[in-house]
Amino acid sequence: VKPRASKVNKPSGFLADSKVLKYDVSKSHYQNFQQFGLLADANQIGAVRDSIRGFKPRLKGPSASNGAADPAATHHPLEDEVPEAAITYRQIPEGEHKILTALIARHGEDYGAMARDMRLNQYQHTAAHLRHRISKMRTEKEMDAQ
């Protein structure tokens, strides 16, 4: 039986004739990425050290902060590539709206009784869940009234 040759994982994105980005097979991926300057710890991007509790990131890669005292002054190039997040607002569905109004009509503000009502509260939502959903439904009503 012919011995199987060991497979070398080589990134396909590097040009073979490039002298600057020469992938060294004898080094690890970490060492090659460090040589290319591609190594950065994503957990440290935008992190304010004073406000993090219980979070001890690995300090393998360079930190995102450049030693500036003001966290607003630090700017990482990856922040330019990330688009602004779209605000998603999920409304309460019409069927759930009917059930919540029926629960309010029967029990008033007693969320414990609403949670125990098996006929109207068929999905057995807890009192805390019902409190959140009813408050969201009321804010939707106020926004629609405006």
pLDDT at 35: 79
The Cα–Cα gap between 61 and 33 comes to: 10
Average pLDDT over residues 72-90: 79
Residue with the two structure tokens 């959903």: 133
φ/ψ (deg, to 5) at 58: -65, 140
* Pairwise CA distance, residues 4 & 7, whole Å: 9
Give the pLDDT of residue 7.
Answer: 76
Asked whether residue 56 carries a pLDDT value surpassing 70, the answer given is no
Q: What is the pTM of this model?
A: 0.45
pLDDT over 90 for what percent of the chain? 36
Taking the mean position of all CA atoms in its chain, how far away is CA 146?
33
Residue 74 is which amino acid?
A: T
User: For 39-60, what is the mean pLDDT?
Assistant: 57
Predicted confidence at residue 79, as pLDDT, reads 79
Rounded-to-5 percentages of helix, strand, coil across the chain:
40, 0, 60
pLDDT over 80 (residue 50) = no
